[in-house]
Structures are given as C-alpha cells and as structure tokens.
Chains A and B, each alone.
Chain A
Amino acid sequence: MGRPRPAHAIPEKMHPISWIFKKRWVRELLLLRKTLTGKRRYNKTEDYGVFRDNSCVISHLEQSSYIVTDLEETKAWFLTMGFTHARTCAPEPHPDHEGHTLTCAYLNARDHEECIVLMEHRDAANKIVLPSIEDVFHAAYELDGNTLKDAFNYTEEMTAKGVKPYYGPAKHNNSVPYGDGESGGNVAAYYYTPDYHHIEFCTDMDTVDNYEGRYGTGIRTTANDQYLKDNV
C-alpha cells in the first residue's frame, strides 16, 4: 500500500467480514438494541426504488477523478483490475490552488472511454500533496455480463491475481444466501486502491425495469413523499 491506512478504512484482518452480514440473525442481533428502544422504527432504513419519470436532467455519469500519491503505482493497480490506459498528460495548473500542478492519467473501462482520471497533485515546491481519502466513500464500475455470477467470477479472477476485496461479493438486499440487508440490489465487491480509495465492482443492480415488478409503485412513492415531508 502507498500510504498508512486511514482511520475509517477497514483493517485487513476484518476483510472477510461480509459473510457475517449475509446472516440475517447477525444483522438482527446487531440492531436488537435499536429495535427494542424503538429507534429502528423511527430512523428507518428504507428502499424507495426507482420509478418511471423523465424529469431528471441527467443521463449518466461520465468521469470521476481520484487524486493519488503515486500515479504509476495506482495506474498499475487499475490495469490489474481490468481497465486500460488511454493517455497520460503533461502537468497542468490545479484549478483551485495557484502554483500547484496536476498530472493526469486517463483510463478506459471496456465500453466507457476515459471514465477515470488519476491525478498526481504537486504543490508549488513540486512536492506530492497527499489525498485525505475523506471525499469518496466509493466509486462503482459495472462488470461485463451484469449477473450475480459475473461478480463472483470477477472476484475469483482478481483473487487469483493476488487482489482480494475488503468486502463482498455481497448482494445489497435481504435475499438469501448472498444478501447483506443493504439497498440497491447490486452484487458488489469492494477493493482498496494503493491509496485506500474505495472501488466497487458490481452487477445486477435493481433498475426501473425490475423494480415495479418486484415492489409496485404506490406504497414506495408514498413512503418517499412522507420522508421528504418530515425531513427535507
């Protein structure tokens, strides 16, 4: 790893923890006090789903940047994970810090050109500025095939290369045997880059096409509206 583990990153000895959360009784046990005190009912974890509505002005995500300590080391990590290198550019001015520079390496996913920008940030004295790792909780990349099996295959392939996930693969819902009780339905495996950026590889997320069939629309929409009325 390129730098010391940030306080909020999961220690390596706890990385196999995801299997515990696939046991519903474990999840219930962890929440027992919240259940008994009524907090669980008040501060709900709720899945409202996604519904047919074209009012959102955004179509999709294009690109995100990660500031890294060592451009070459991180680039090599992403190449191992299946991305390809598009180009690396000459240092350019940092938009927020006068005299600072950014050197950018652009990476492709198979069907998504330059969806990642790795940035090496140097100050006016040309020293590397370390990322805090307190911005991105995680960024997720969909895997070829987009089925549960593909996520497990990918994890096996990466493990064979010596890269193990710190969490997962787990399915983010209550299904048995892979569900961990979270939201979205995606089958997700999470990895740390050399800087401890969290990168998810996922498949099979719930979409507008399967959500209505599973949950209907009326109840979920009402629940969503009630939360917004009460809190936002």
Chain B
Amino acid sequence: MKRTLPVKFQHLVMYTKDLITSHRWYRNLFNLQFSAQNDPDGSALMNLAEQSMHFFSFGHYHHDIAFASKKGVMPDNTSLLNYSMRLRDTVSIDDFIQRLEQQGITYKKGRLLQSAKTPEGLQAVSFKDPNGYWIEILGK
C-alpha cells in the first residue's frame, strides 16, 4: 500500500510577545499579505484557547507564516532558535540587505549554524525579529 508522506514545509505559526509589533515589523520588511485574523471574540476555538492570531501570505498559499498571542505564553527562544526563508528570484540578497539597513535591522552575513548547508549559488543573511527568533534569508 502506498504511504502518504509529508512533501514540504508549508507554514509556521509562532507565538509572539506582541501581535501588533510583529505584524508591523514583518509586513514592513517582507511586504507580506495580511490574509486573516482570528480573535477569541469571533472564533470558537480561539475563544477556548484564549488566543489571537494574524495570518500572512507570501502570495500563493492563504498563509505561510502566522503569529499567535496567548495569555500566559511568552516566547523565550528555547524551543525555536531559527527558521529560514528563500527570497523570490526577482529580489537579490544585496537588495534585501539594503532593506535591512534602511530599517535599521542588525544582521550578519552567512548561515546561523556552522552545520547548515547553503545551496550552491545562494548566499545567506541572518538577523533577529522582535521576538528574538533568528531569521535566515537565502537568495542569489
């Protein structure tokens, strides 16, 4: 019998220290589409979980990354150290570094981990978001 397999990493939902701060920072830096919000006053599940969520799209899927704010849960970077994303082919790594500099975001060139592989022809840049999560951006 054929086995159903996971084929790719599709979306990531992170807890945030402040939903609006993360919303602004991410949309400004990456030009994300704001695709949905779930509020405990309007969603039965969110009501039970006492949680609010904002969803963002890269332009194809309904959501690629999202943020959740929940009473009593505070990100501390002991569970998620980093995650990485690939630039569109139309945006170079130099263009992106310029965006980081324009927005006053401190970065370092290269991957965060010594053991991480960078695919041939790509470069990487690493920096932290307002929650302390390391983000790696890979691009040409």
In the complex, what residues of A have CB within 8 A of residue B87's CB? 57-59
On whether the beta carbons of A139 and B13 are closer than 8 Å, the reply is: yes
On whether the beta carbons of A109 and B84 are closer than 8 Å, the reply is: no
Q: Which of A8, A47, A59, A119 contacts B36 (CB 8 A)?
A: A47
In the complex, what residues of B have CB within 8 A of residue A153's CB? 4
On whether the beta carbons of A112 and B42 are closer than 8 Å, the reply is: no
With known contacts A135-B14, A207-B60, A115–B45 Cβ distance under 8 A:
no
Q: Which of B45, B113, B138 contacts A104 (CB 8 A)?
A: B113
Q: What are 30 contact pairs spanning A and B, CB under 8 A?
A: A31-B42, A44-B39, A44-B41, A45-B46, A46-B37, A47-B36, A53-B59, A58-B85, A59-B88, A61-B12, A63-B136, A65-B81, A67-B79, A82-B5, A92-B115, A109-B6, A109-B9, A110-B7, A129-B78, A135-B76, A135-B79, A139-B9, A139-B13, A141-B9, A142-B7, A150-B4, A157-B4, A181-B45, A186-B62, A197-B79
In the complex, what residues of B have CB within 8 A of residue A232's CB? 20, 23-24, 27
On whether the beta carbons of A55 and B31 are closer than 8 Å, the reply is: yes
In the complex, what residues of A have CB within 8 A of residue B105's CB? none
Given contacts A62-B84, A89-B115, 16 further A-B contacts (CB under 8 A): A43-B42, A44-B41, A48-B35, A58-B64, A64-B84, A66-B80, A95-B113, A110-B5, A112-B8, A136-B12, A136-B15, A140-B13, A182-B43, A195-B79, A205-B11, A232-B23
In the complex, what residues of B have CB within 8 A of residue A67's CB? 78-81
The yes or no answer to A125 lying at the interface (CB within 8 A) is no
- In the assembly, what is the distance between CA of A138 and CA of B91, in Å? 28
The 8 A CB mask of A104-139 against B (1 = contact, 0 = none) is: 101001111011110101000000011111111111
In the complex, what residues of B have CB within 8 A of residue A133's CB? 79
In the complex, what residues of B have CB within 8 A of residue A115's CB? 8-9
The yes or no answer to A187 lying at the interface (CB within 8 A) is no
On whether the beta carbons of B4 and A136 are closer than 8 Å, the reply is: no
Which residue from chain A places its CB closest to the CB of B39 in the assembled complex? Answer: A43
Which residue from chain A places its CB closest to the CB of B51 in the assembled complex? Answer: A137
The yes or no answer to A5 lying at the interface (CB within 8 A) is no
The yes or no answer to A154 lying at the interface (CB within 8 A) is yes
